[in-house]
Amino acid sequence: MKKVIDIIENIFLKLAALFFLVFIACVILQVASRYIPGIRVLWAGELATYAFIWMIFIGAAVMVREKGHFTVGLVVDNVKGLPLLLVQSLTHVLIMAFGLVMIIDGYGLTVQFWGWSLNNLPEIRQGYAWMAIPVGGAAMILFALQNWWEDYAKFRDKRKEAAA
């Protein structure tokens, strides 16, 4: 399972990098179009916004995998054994609850805005931008579950070593 999640994380990192490049290219193009006569790029601002949205939600999921999320260091750094596992478990449960809210509400927003189109790119539906929320939430849940399993495995292994 770890290898599959490693592959998913790698795909997410590459997608986040791609969205970052699209974002930067659109911003540069938009700024250049203001100063170069005859060039009008109306769609660059909207595309940059949506690339940024996807980059943020995908990146947030990857940060959950890397345990780069918010934790109270004072508590996590000063407890060991079962209390540490309980604190880590609480963190993972809260992250998964947040991910579930993202899936449920993000799905509702995606459905609500699916028929809407972008002002300057009428071929693209706004639902694609809102889809980043449930995708990011699902990935956060997946990564939090995997982290929880790893934390439990470390706790179990340390307990076995102490008993031996």
Predicted confidence (pLDDT) per residue in 36-66, tens digit: 888 888 888 899 999 999 999 999 999 999 9
Task: Tell me how many domains the chain contains.
Answer: 1
Range of the domain at 81: 2-163
Q: What is the pLDDT of residue 75?
A: 67
Name the DSSP letter for residue 125.
Answer: B
Run of H or E residues at 3: helix 2-35
Q: What is the pLDDT of residues 67-114, one digit of tens each?
A: 887 666 666 777 888 988 998 999 999 999 999 999 999 999 999 999
What is the DSSP secondary-structure string of 11-76? HHHHHHHHHHHHHHHHHHHHHHHHHSTT---SSHHHHHHHHHHHHHHHHHHHHHHTT-S---HHHH
Q: What is the pLDDT of residue 47?
A: 92
pTM for the predicted model, two decimal places: 0.87
C-alpha angle with apex 148: 154 to 85, nearest 5 degrees? 60
